[in-house]
Homo-oligomer: A and B are copies of this chain.
Amino acid sequence: MQYQHNFNPTISDEDVFGEIVKEKDFIGYYNLVFGDTLKYKEYASHVVQKNIVVIGIGGSTLGTYAIYKFLKHSKKFSKKLYFLETTDPIDIKSKVENIDLNDTLFIVISKSGTTIETVSIFKYINSLVKCDKNNTVVITESDSKLNEYAKANDIQSFEIPKNVGGRFSVFSAVGLLPLAIVGMDIDGLLSGAKEVYDSFFDKKDVYDRVLKKARFFVEYKNRFNINVIFSYSSRLDGFNKWYIQLWGESLGKVDINSSRQGLTPIGIIGPIDQHSFLQLIVEGTRDKTVTVIKVEDFDNHLKIPPVKLEGLGELDYLDNIEFSSLINKQADATIESIHNLSDIPCDVITIDSVSEKSIASLMYEYELLTSICAKFMYINAYDQPGVEAGKVILKQKLESNK
């Protein structure tokens, strides 16, 4: 008997770990935790403008937005951060109209340096205000056209290393520069990521839980093709969006044996979507895993005041409960109602606090999880051929319009 097959071999946790260790030499994001933050803090210390506008799309903005959204109301930051990323004309116009452009630093971010949306918006900004070295900074690959523009105009430029993909770039200049400028503790960010790095590569807690989770997700990928993140803080909304890009774009791939792979990310906000999407999870088809994210300590003691509302007395049991306790009890109720069904895979991540360190740990762990799922699936997490195809078609359409 002769036999041919193209099934992927089973891969052990140990072998996946070995692959990741090897990959660390040529995939750049792993070692961003060792980055030098001095140059960002140095630049930040000289920024005089009150408004910081990031012009960029996808990987150039989502990670920064995730961190900023989570933390912006927890402390007072000295500057305001805005993002220009959509090509919707009404949106661009209304956003720009509400910002004092003469008191604005523009951070133009494009890894390739020729992103159509980014350059289009930057051209528009140039028609409204003079952009030069005093109000513009660029983040791009060293040999890109955008960097040529920066050099020609004596504009400072920070580098995105070639081997750091956009969606894995939040701990490079892409995230650290704008966040340092608004006053975030970027060393705190890196220390949060570093903690996860150490725990993983020293084969401690993170190693155990991330490998287990990735293996489960991949092993049951045909049964549970959807991975829901249920975040119990509305300020994790940006994290959800970042997760959706990271997961979707990294894991939607053709594997080494020409089979289509893909795990579909969904991000929902606990206290809101437990009034709606939860129905689908609880009673619908069993095609989802659920990861609940809680914040242990909101460091906020806002209470439901014991105000008496005639007619609504039956709800007075809410009096004096802290909102942070209410939201965490909402999370616990959701977890319990899912556990009670016992046929929905569910895990719970509790992050310590509303801090740079906590959000960075969470994000770095999800980057690792993504890389490891890709290893189990025999795909390349770091390219995006499907997106590139659309870009080519768009360019043709725009050029033929001339």
Contact = CB atoms under 8 A, between A and B. Distances in A.
Contact of A235 (B90, B124, B402): B90
Interface stretch (A14-22, A177-185, A205-213, A270-278): A270-278
B94 A73 contact: yes
Interface in A283-305: 283-288, 298, 300-302, 304-305
A233 B266 contact: no
A286 to B, nearest CB: 6
A31 interface: no
Chain A facing B: main interface SS:
helix
Nearest to A337: B390
Given A91-B73, A327-B87, A329-B398, A116 B387 contact: no
A198 B135 CA distance: 55
A142 interface: no
Contact of A323 (B89, B315, B393): B89
Contact of A280 (B119, B264, B319): B264
A333 B393 contact: yes
A311 B146 contact: yes
B225 A287 contact: yes
B120 A318 contact: yes
Given A323-B120, A327-B88, A280 B262 contact: yes
Interface stretch (A5-13, A39-47, A247-255, A363-371): A247-255
Interface string A229-269: 00001110000000011001101111000001110101001
Nearest to A280: B252
Given A311-B149, A332-B397, A324 B89 contact: yes
A269 B86 contact: yes
A24 interface: no
Contacts of A300: 89-90, 93
Contact of A87 (B167, B278, B326, B386): B326
A397 B92 contact: no
A123 B92 CA distance: 37
B88 A323 contact: yes
Nearest to A385: B283
Given A252-B284, A284-B260, A390 B278 contact: yes
Given A276-B167, A307-B127, A323 B92 contact: yes
Interface residues of A, number: 121
A202 interface: no
A349 interface: no
Interface string A181-208: 0000000000000000000000000000
Contact of A298 (B90, B253, B262): B90
A276 B272 CA distance: 25
A226 interface: yes
A101 interface: no
Most chain B beta-carbon contacts within 10 A, residue among A152, A260, A321, A394: A394
Nearest to A125: B307
The 4 closest A-B pairs by CB, nearest first: A262-B284, A252-B280, A148-B311, A252-B284
